[in-house]
Amino acid sequence: MDAQLDKKLKAILSESQFARHKQIMLQAEAPMVFLRPETDEALNISDDQREKIEQVLEEARPGRGQGGPEAGPGGPGGGPEGPDRAAITAKVLKVLSSTQQSKWSTMTGKPFNFPKPPARRN
């Protein structure tokens, strides 16, 4: 998360609200958040685990790395999104040790029920 945004949020939110905000952001950004260096460091993910996580995410990616509009991070369909996110995150969590899973649970807190986005019109 952007350091400037963190600073502004800390000025507005209470300490517990800011902590919950961070938990919800991790939940919202899963499973792709497992590719971030800060998540890697916090969970002490090994090189072997990182490779397995990357493989799970690659297999879940639309187009499976074949290029085109559905492939690649950041764009529409560019990462594991939608209803499969929870299943993909669960697969990533299986790569982690029980200690790492417990740490992840602490980092993310109580599950937040995100509202469903409105249906797209064509």
Q: What does the pLDDT read at residue 63?
A: 66
Q: What pLDDT sits at residue 66?
A: 42
Give residue 62's pLDDT: 75
Task: Give per-residue pLDDT as tens, 76-112.
Answer: 333 455 558 889 999 999 999 999 999 999 999 999 9
HSE (side-chain half, CA atoms, 13 Å) at 18: 12
Pinpoint the alpha helices (H) of the chain.
3-12, 15-29, 37-43, 47-60, 84-95, 98-108
Q: Which two tokens stand for residue 11?
A: 């000025």
Between 39 and 75, the more confident residue is 39
